[in-house]
Amino acid sequence: MAPTSTIDDARVASRASSASAAPTRAPRGHLAGLDGLRALAIAAVIVFHLDPDWLPGGFLGVDIFFVISGFLITTLLVREKRSTGRVDLMSFWTRRARRLLPALVVVVPVAILIARTVETDLLVGIRRQALGALTFSTNWLEIAHGSNYFAATSPQLFMNFWSLAVEEQFYLFWPLVTLVLLALHRRLAITEGALATLVLGVGVASAVMMAVTYDPANPTRAYYGTDTHLFGLMLGAALAIAWTGPTRAWTTTAIWRERRSWLVGGSLATIAVLLVLAGEGSAWTFRLGIPLISVATALLLLAAVERPGPLRSVLELAPLVWVGRRSYGIYLWHWPVILIVGQDIPTSAGTQEFVWTRVWAVLVTLALADLSFRFVETPVRRLGFRGSLRHVATSVRSFSLGGRRVVTGTVVVLAAALAFVVLTAPDISRTQQMIEDNQARIAQQKDSPAAAGASTPSPAANGRADTRKDSPSGSERRKDFTMPTGQEIVIFGDSMVVGAVPALEYYFPGVRIDAESNRQWADGLSAVAAADDSLRRAVVLAFGTNAGTDPETVEKILAEIGDKRMVVLVNLHADRLSRIGGDNAALEEIAGEHPNVTIADWDSAVEAEDLQSDGIHPSLGGAHTYAATIRQAFADLSEQHTGKKVTLKDLPRP
């Protein structure tokens, strides 16, 4: 997220220090290069949120922000203490409030009202989200709720506010800790280097906690936790303590002067590689990637503020400074805008239309952030809360009586509308409701006679009725690659299958479905093994949405099924998961090694209207596309082995 420590804060602190009788030099009001680093970080985050495939590690831009925030806040605190002999905590926290709250109290209600006009699913859990946003507790509320930052079944309008919460919690407690550290430094004559090492040790402990608590099925606890995501903030703080000391973070040494260019080049290369390669599905991203990008950022930051040079010149370019100064507003607005535009103009990832909607989302975000910067954030920083309210009140009083009534009426109507929208927001999305209904339908199916393999003619097959029950197993089974009927098919899967149950039963009457939400390939292995000899002669496997493709487990499942059954692997599609391409490539490779296995190419078949608001699960029409894709895969596999064309009956969509 965009760090909430800005140039203006430094200037405020500078003016306060200059007004004091301190004998030392007042702190500088501008730290060169920080705006440029902010701009690069926010760009990475936005590209990731536009489409993770474009920059798989873009979410690590948040950790770049954390390093900057830790460095700048600690620098301001240390300099104020040394310049004035004290730290005015109330003034510090007031500046934080002036910086954070104005834009936030605009974004939250405006985004909620606009989202309601576009898609009600965007408001699922909005009461919890709004509470977290306005109290800077989003990260802990979402952890308690069991949310998953990287694989949410319903899009969260304020999902990105988790990092605002981490930073604000840091701003609340870190000044107190800093005062204790500075007191130790003065009374016990502890060096700046020792203090920096102590602070860095806290960051290392946090990184270790992230590595230990990381859960590949849901990394949210490790990623959202303030305790587990402190490394960047503490590294920045440690660097600030060392940099404000006599050694200037050892930049006065011969080693730094000799190796500075190599360190800068290596840091830039490290950041670039991590942003491109460190996807959210890799454990090493959380155990090594986050610390690495934090260290690389710290070195770049130090090189930028230490002295003028090519790096600082680039980071001080006008476009980067413009974006960097508005990075907070850009961060607040970009994710709600992306979701709202995506729902208002549905498109499929990878299409030209999708790219244009993303361009439009960026333009809208920049425009809103600039308006916020000019007319909300800057006035409050300059005039304060009371001064801003007086200015607004004076402006309204200058209106005619009719104008004042219009303003008052508009405010009342919008407040009432906001209250109504928040109070009536759904608790679960239509996608989740559909999954729960279909899960109950699966449970009923298991208790019905059809689950035992009752014979019913299938309109979706090649025209012949089939009264066979489950085929024999082991040595008694013969290879039969004729087009299977519904009674000969069993489907194992996750929520994708659950969401398509009615369509699957429509296309394959008599089909047996064994599916549950949040399943992974390991659960599929258990389900197939439990089926044992009752396995039908045609098997569909649809897993991977929740935790990706596990080739080793897929191979174990295929070995359990054997080579005498027809097997269809359904590939994956998700608009906001960067790993999908790799997962599907792995499935293709596996299918290519087994003659009895083929791919149902759901990823290629899906259209924008085939998806629910989460960009993952099939809509009503998408469920029919999903089932039809599986049916076509069986037909292709049959033709491949029998040499006989399979004529599929056209089934009207309801």
What the chain holds in terms of domains, given with CATH numbers, is 7-423 (no CATH), 430-642 (3.40.50.1110)
Digit-coded pLDDT (tens) for 57-99:
999 999 999 999 999 999 999 999 888 888 899 999 999 999 9
**Arithmetic mean of pLDDT, 213-230:** 92
Task: Return the DSSP state at 348.
Answer: -
Which pairing describes strands 489-493 and 538-542: parallel, antiparallel, or unpaired? parallel
Reported confidence tier of residue 275, pLDDT bands at 50, 70, 90: very high
CA distance readout (Å), 556 to 17, 300, 378, 570, 594? 68, 47, 60, 17, 13
pTM for the predicted model, two decimal places? 0.81
- Judged by phi (left if over 0) then psi (alpha if -120 to 50, else beta), residue 33 lies in left
SS3 600: strand
**Arithmetic mean of pLDDT, 92-120:** 95
Q: Which residue has the higher pLDDT, 3 or 260?
A: 260
SS3 470: coil
Reported confidence tier of residue 16, pLDDT bands at 50, 70, 90: very low
Digit-coded pLDDT (tens) for 173-202:
999 999 998 888 777 767 788 899 999 999
Q: Which residue has the higher pLDDT, 375 or 154?
A: 375
DSSP secondary structure, 499-556, as one string: HTHHHHHHHSTT-EEEE-TT--HHHHHHHHHHHGGG--SEEEEE--TTT---HHHHHH
Reported confidence tier of residue 445, pLDDT bands at 50, 70, 90: low
Digit-coded pLDDT (tens) for 392-434:
999 988 999 999 999 999 999 999 999 999 999 998 877 777 7
**Arithmetic mean of pLDDT, 126-144:** 95
**HSE-CB for 130 with a 13 A CA cutoff:** 21
pLDDT attached to residue 34: 94
Task: Return the DSSP state at 609.
Answer: G
Digit-coded pLDDT (tens) for 591-647:
999 999 999 999 989 887 888 877 788 888 889 999 999 999 999 999 999 999 998
Check whether 538 has a pLDDT greater than 90: yes
Alpha helices in 188-316 (DSSP H): 192-213, 220-224, 231-243, 254-277, 283-284, 290-306, 310-315
Residue 309 burial class via C-beta count within 10 angstroms: exposed 0-12, middle 13-18, buried 19 and up: middle
Say if CB 565 and CB 538 are below 8 A apart: yes
Say if CB 455 and CB 510 are below 8 A apart: yes
Q: Which residue has the higher pLDDT, 183 or 458?
A: 183
Digit-coded pLDDT (tens) for 324-348:
999 999 999 999 999 999 989 988 7
Dihedrals phi, psi of 309, to nearest 5 degrees: 175, 180
**Arithmetic mean of pLDDT, 280-306:** 94
Digit-coded pLDDT (tens) for 365-391:
999 999 999 999 999 999 999 999 999
Nearest to 486 by CA among 515, 516, 525, 513: 513
pLDDT attached to residue 339: 94
**Arithmetic mean of pLDDT, 135-162:** 84
Say if CB 503 and CB 442 are below 8 A apart: no
* Amino acid of residue 80: E
**Arithmetic mean of pLDDT, 294-302:** 96
**HSE-CB for 619 with a 13 A CA cutoff:** 14
Q: Which two tokens stand for residue 338?
A: 């992306």
DSSP3 helix / strand / coil % (the chain, rounded to 5):
65, 5, 30
CA–CA distance, 232 with 594 (Å, rounded to integer):
47
pLDDT attached to residue 191: 79
CA–CA distance, 377 with 479 (Å, rounded to integer):
71
Check whether 217 has a pLDDT greater than 90: no
Q: Which two tokens stand for residue 477?
A: 């089974």
pLDDT attached to residue 464: 40
Check whether 551 has a pLDDT greater than 70: yes
CA–CA distance, 526 with 531 (Å, rounded to integer):
9
CA–CA distance, 45 with 252 (Å, rounded to integer):
34
CA distance readout (Å), 622 to 501, 531, 560, 573, 618? 12, 29, 31, 12, 5
